[in-house]
Structures are given as structure tokens and as C-alpha cells.
């Protein structure tokens, strides 16, 4: 199946909103414009083979070539027909080297019919410029063959603008610009679509950011631990907190949209993101986490969390489709017309940097990269951070939960009280993290009560377990290991 058919079927069958579909690249209409450009070029004798022949020297070696002399009727075209840079009123034009008096194209390789068509166009353009000059408008400088007036001198190498000395004594040569009406139709159709897509992307990203903020409020409401006397006012189960914590741990274990690993850093493509989201959904179903949620509010928030991820995935898919369509149609324009459009593409990338793909199927397009990075950060800060993870509250010495938390005051590290007591017993004076001599001076004043309240609130089961371990360790330290009753064991 051809890409145009795949693109049309995807727009119709993927369930995109109608205003998205209306903003999509008009691939079919752009193909029709390319055919019009081909017909317009063919009418003036510039078929594909002729343009390829004219563009041959540009594609050749860049080393300087010695100046050659020709007969009066022989000249070399200095460059292939090209598209100029974007201006406020962009108009695609061919740049032709012609005799400044007769308007005859100075290229011996052109057929008489092609020369006749181009000469007629050239004389018409010269007549218009002459009238503009009479009205005081700026005109192109008419000089020698090596002088190209207002045309970009960086694109012209001296080896492409040589002529016989004999002809220079009779006539001068000049560059003229011949507009291509059908090519202008192509770019007039393309540019508004780019602007519509960029506006759509901005609006959708803002909408998703708002949805993520609302989701964060929902998750916070269903995971906020119930305090004494408040349980009757709010339908919240403390067990839901642990289910949410496990859901988010699985989510962060293998990020859906943006990878921060050193080996594969950056935004993932739509295909990769879709595969990861499907795998995550399968994990939730296999572990039964969604079914274990106790309250209706928690189940609703969980469904909304998955829906937000699907919304991000859908806009990524839509944008990657359009970026691919853009790349395909510009390549087709270049292949079918053989007009040099590199300057146009450079300016297009500057004006719409997020809408053009880099040509690699293994990397996300510009907008997909941007939205994956930005919205992944939003989810992490506004949603995932609502449910604290145990890994963020571990002691840097024993790597268990830092209970009871002790802050030495020399750095931001928080240690468990057991490790600080052990370090003091061993005579270790320096902080394990910043190496300052603060360990021996630690006492009850170094207990971090705010962190203690936080851990009791969000990790009640872990705190109970850790408290029993601390009490057992304190007895062993006070009375010896023999005092601690060993657990029952069967030999």
C-alpha cells in the first residue's frame, strides 16, 4: 500500500478529533501540485532529464576548474534551477543566465525548443524589470557573466560562470528570475498547514498540562493518609496508598515516553511508547493492582491516569504521522521536479523546528520529542511525586528506611538512628557523606521530627517493622546478643 493511502486511512481510522484531521498535511493535494509543477516545467522544455543535466555540475566535484573558452554560441549554465529563501512574500523562481540584450539562455546543452520557451519568458521578465526601473524600483545589476547582481553569491562558483572573451566584447550576461506559478501553489498549500499544526500542538500541550494538574489533585485526594477522626468524612483506604505506590514504581521502572538512561537518552518513538504502555497495562492486570483499589475515587483516578497517558500517545502518533508525511512530500517534490529546495528547507526548519523529522525512524520527531520530555516531567513532578517512594527515604549507610531519622547538620543527608549509634560506638568521627567531623556530637537534638512525622504518615507499615528492629538492636546493645530471644527454628 502506498504511503498516501496509509496516511489517509490512519487519519480516518485512528479516532483522531475532526479538528486534528482538518489540520493534517494535505498529502494528496500536495501530490497534485507536484504534478502541476512537472507539467509547467515540461511546457517550457525543462523535463526531468534536462533539469538533471543542468544540475550536473553542481553535484560534481568542488575543486576549482580552469577557465575554458567556447565559441560565440556556447555558454555553461552556472547552476541548477533553484528555490530562493523564504521572504515575506515567498515566490519560487528559476534563476537563468541569459544574454542581457536578446534574452537568449546561455547554455549550449539546451534544445532549440527549450531555448525558445525560456527566451520568451526571459524577455517578458526583462520587460517587467525595465518598467520597474523606470518607476524607480531596484533592478538587478547587469554586468559580466561573473556578476550575478542581487542573487546570492555564495551559491555561485567561478567555475560555473565562464564565457568566451570574444562574446564578452559583444554582449554582457545577466541573471533573471523566472517565477513558477505551480510551485508557488505547492508552498502556499504547505505553509498554512505547518502553521495550523504548530498552533494545534501548542493548544494540545497546554490542555494536557491542565489534565495532568487535575490528575495530580485526584491522586493526592485518594492517597492522602486518613488521620484520626477524619476517616468518616472521606472514603479513603490506607491500603490504596500502597497500591498506588506500586503502580507508580512500575511506571518509573520503565518510562513510557522519555528515557533518561545513558545508553538510550531522549524521547521514544510512538511505536516504542505504545509497546511500553501496553506492557505496563498488562503488568497492572497481571498483578491485579487495579482490582485491589478499595474506593471508587481511587479506581476513577487510576483510569484517568491511564487515559492521560493514552492522550499523550495519541498526539505523539498524530504528530509523527504528519512529520513523516512532510518528509515524504518534500522528497517527492525534489525527486519529481529536480529543483534545488535546500535553502527553502533550511528556512523551514528555522521557522518550524518541531514539525520536521530528522529522517531517522529510530528517533522521535521534533514535537514528539518536546511533548514527551515536557509532559513526562509534568507527570513526574505533579503526579508521581504525590505518592512518596521508599527509595527516597533510605539511610545512606545501611540502605534501609531512615528510622528514626537523624540529621547531622553538616549536609542534607538523613541517617537512621541505629547507624549513627553504631558509628559513635566504633569511634567514627566523620560524616559518611560530606566527611565533616559531626558524628560524635550527635544527640537527641539531631532527631529530625518533621521527617519522622512524614514517614509515620506515608509509610506506617514500614515504620512499625523498622521500630521493632530498632528495639531489638537496642536490647542487644544493652544486654548482649544472648538476651535477645531467638526465633523458633526447626532443625
Give me the mean pLDDT over the 208-219 stretch. Answer: 92
According to DSSP H, which parts of 260-395 are helical? 270-287, 289-292, 296-337, 342-351, 366-382
Q: Give the integer Cα–Cα distance in Å for 230 and 236.
A: 10
Q: Give the integer Cα–Cα distance in Å for 3 and 5.
A: 5
| pLDDT of res. 17 | 93
- Among positive and negative, which fits the CA dihedral 29, 31, 34, 36? negative
CB 110 within 8 A of CB 118: yes
| pLDDT of res. 207 | 93
Instruction: Tell me the three state secondary structure of residue 397.
Output: coil
* pLDDT of residue 133 exceeding 90: no
User: pLDDT above 90 covers what percent of the chain?
Assistant: 31
Cell numbers describing residue 358: 530528522
| pLDDT of res. 400 | 93
Residues in the chain: 491
How confident is the model over 136-173, as pLDDT tens digits? Answer: 554 444 333 333 333 343 444 443 344 444 444 445 65
Q: How many CA atoms lie within 13 A of 225 on its CB side?
A: 15
pLDDT band at 312 (very low <50, low <70, confident <90, very high): very high
Residues 6 or more apart whose Cβ sits within 8 Å of residue 285: none
Residues 6 or more apart whose Cβ sits within 8 Å of residue 365: 319, 320, 323, 324, 354, 355, 356, 357, 358
Supply φ then ψ for residue 300, to 5 degrees: -65, -40
Q: Picking from 92-101, 192-201, 243-252, which range would have the lowest pLDDT averaged per residue?
A: 92-101
How confident is the model over 400-429, as pLDDT tens digits? Answer: 999 999 999 999 999 999 999 999 999 999
| pLDDT of res. 85 | 46
Closest CA to 367 of 210, 274, 257: 257
* pLDDT of residue 485 exceeding 70: no
Instruction: Tell me the three state secondary structure of residue 299.
Output: helix
Mind listing the domains of the chain with CATH numbers?
47-80+93-179 (no CATH), 185-387 (no CATH), 391-483 (3.30.40.10)
* pLDDT of residue 268 exceeding 50: yes
> What angle, rounded to 10 degrees, do the helices at 366-382 and 296-337 form?
170
* pLDDT of residue 451 exceeding 70: yes
* pLDDT of residue 255 exceeding 70: yes
Q: Give the integer Cα–Cα distance in Å for 40 and 92.
A: 13
| pLDDT of res. 113 | 56
Partners of 340 in beta bridges:
82
Amino acid at each position: 500500500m502506498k504511503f498516501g493511502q496509509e496516511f489517509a486511512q490512519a487519519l480516518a481510522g485512528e479516532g483522531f478529533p475532526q479538528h486534528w484531521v482538518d489540520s493534517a498535511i494535505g498529502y494528496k493535494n500536495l501530490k497534485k501540485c507536484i504534478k502541476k509543477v512537472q507539467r509547467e516545467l515540461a511546457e517550457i522544455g525543462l523535463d526531468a532529464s534536462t533539469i538533471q543535466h543542468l544540475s550536473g555540475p553542481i553535484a560534481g566535484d568542488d575543486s576549482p576548474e580552469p577557465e575554458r573558452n567556447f565559441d560565440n554560441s556556447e555558454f555553461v549554465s552556472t547552476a541548477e534551477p533553484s528555490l530562493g529563501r523564504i521572504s515575506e512574500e515567498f515566490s519560487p523562481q528559476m534563476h537563468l543566465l541569459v544574454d542581457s540584450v536578446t534574452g537568449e539562455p546561455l547554455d549550449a546543452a539546451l534544445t532549440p525548443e527549450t531555448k525558445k520557451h525560456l527566451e520568451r519568458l526571459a524577455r517578458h521578465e526583462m520587460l517587467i524589470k525595465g518598467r520597474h526601473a523606470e518607476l524607480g524600483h531596484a533592478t538587478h545589476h547587469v554586468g559580466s557573466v561573473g556578476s550575478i547582481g542581487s542573487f546570492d553569491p555564495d551559491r555561485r562558483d567561478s567555475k560555473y560562470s565562464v564565457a568566451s572573451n570574444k562574446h564578452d566584447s559583444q554582449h554582457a550576461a545577466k541573471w533573471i528570475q523566472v517565477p513558477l506559478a505551480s510551485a508557488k501553489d505547492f508552498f502556499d498549500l504547505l505553509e498554512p498547514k505547518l502553521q495550523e499544526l504548530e498552533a494545534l500542538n501548542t493548544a494540545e500541550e497546554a490542555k494536557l498540562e491542565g489534565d495532568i494538574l487535575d490528575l495530580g489533585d485526584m491522586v493526592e485526594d485518594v492517597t492522602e493518609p486518613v488521620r484520626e477522626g477524619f476517616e468518616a468524612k472521606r472514603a479513603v483506604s490506607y491500603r490504596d496508598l500502597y497500591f498506588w505506590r506500586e503502580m507508580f514504581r512500575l511506571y518509573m521502572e520503565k518510562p513510557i515516553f522519555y528515557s533518561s538512561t545513558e545508553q538510550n537518552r531522549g524521547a521514544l518513538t510512538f511505536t516504542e511508547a505504545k509497546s511500553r504502555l501496553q506492557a505496563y497495562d498488562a503488568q497492572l492486570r497481571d498483578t491485579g493492582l487495579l482490582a485491589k483499589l478499595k474506593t471508587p475515587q481511587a479506581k476513577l483516578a487510576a483510569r484517568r491516569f491511564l487515559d492521560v497517558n493514552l492522550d499523550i500517545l495519541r498526539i505523539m502518533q498524530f504528530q509523527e504521522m504528519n512529520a513523516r508525511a512532510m518528509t515524504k512530500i518534500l522528497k517527492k517534490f525534489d525527486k519529481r521536479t529536480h529543483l534545488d529546495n535546500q535553502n527553502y528547507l533550511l528556512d523551514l526548519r528555522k521557522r518550524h523546528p518541531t514539525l520536521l523529522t530528522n529522517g531517522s525512524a529510530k528517533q522521535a520527531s521534533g514535537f514528539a520529542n518536546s511533548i514527551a520530555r515536557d509532559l513526562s516531567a509534568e507527570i513526574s513532578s505533579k503526579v508521581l511525586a504525590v505518592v512518596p517512594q521508599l527509595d527516597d527515604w533510605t539511610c545512606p549507610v545501611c540502605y534501609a528506611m531512615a528510622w528514626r531519622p537523624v540529621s547531622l547538620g553538616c549536609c542534607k543527608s538523613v541517617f537512621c538512628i541505629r547507624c549513627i549509634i553504631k558509628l559513635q560506638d566504633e569511634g567514627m568521627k566523620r560524616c559518611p557523606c560530606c566527611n565533616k567531623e559531626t558524628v560524635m556530637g550527635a544527640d537527641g537534638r539531631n532527631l529530625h521530627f518533621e521527617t519522622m512525622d512524614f514517614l509515620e504518615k506515608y509509610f506506617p507499615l514500614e515504620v512499625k517493622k523498622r521500630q521493632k528492629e530498632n528495639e531489638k538492636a537496642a536490647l542487644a546493645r544493652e544486654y548482649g546478643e544472648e538476651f535477645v530471644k531467638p526465633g523458633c527454628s526447626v532443625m
